Amino acid sequence: QSVLTQPPSVSGAPGQRVTISCIGSSSDIGAGFDVHWYQQIAGAAPKLIIFHNGDRPSGVPDRFSGSRSVTSASLAITGLRAEDEADYYCQSYDGSLASSVFGGGTKLTVL
């Protein structure tokens, strides 16, 4: 059972905007720990696409953006493209467990 809660799946047509939520608790996101997001294309290792809630590594398109509120975070993808079809995971830190924690992952389907 994942500590961070994500929807199992989301979908959208090319060009549309989709958002993926990541719900935490008072011991992780709610405690002020940063949220990071990863993209995992089938058969490949995860790739960091958002760090420290909303920063993008070099080379990640600005179609990807992240935000954080009190005990949750969101990943938004605008201008959906076929190559965005992948699994997306959020990650934060649980201060009470001294452990990193992942969400269960969200499968994005581009229709």
Partner 1 sequence: QVQLQESGPGLVRSSGTLSLTCVVSGGSINSNNYWNWVRQSPGGGLEWIGEISQSGNTNYIPSLKSRVTISKDMPKMQILLTMTSVTAADSAMYYCARGGWGNPGDALDLWGQGTVVIVTS
Secondary structure of residue 6 in the 3-state scheme: coil
Nearer Cβ to partner 1, position 55 or 79?
A: 55
Q: Which two tokens stand for residue 44?
A: 């490949």
Decide: is 88 part of the binding site for partner 1 (CB under 8 A). no
Q: What is the 3-state secondary structure (H, E, C) of 51-75?
A: ECCCECCCCCCCCEEEEECCCEEEE
Q: Which residue from 30, 27, 26, 4 is spatially nearest to 101, judged by alpha carbons? A: 4
Give the range of 15-23, 69-77, 78-86, 89-97 binding partner 1 by CB under 8 A. 89-97
Give the range of 12-20, 28-36, 74-82 binding partner 1 by CB under 8 A. 28-36
- The residues in 53-82 that bind partner 1, with binding defined as CB under 8 A, are 57
Q: Which of 24, 33, 65, 86 binds partner 1 (CB under 8 A)?
A: 33
Angstrom distance (rounded) from CA 69 to CA 67: 7
Nearer Cβ to partner 1, position 5 or 19?
A: 5
Q: What share of the chain is helix, strand, coil (3-state, %, to 5)?
A: 5, 50, 45
The binding site for partner 1 (CB under 8 A) comprises 2, 33-34, 36, 38, 40, 45-48, 51-52, 57, 89, 91-93, 97-105
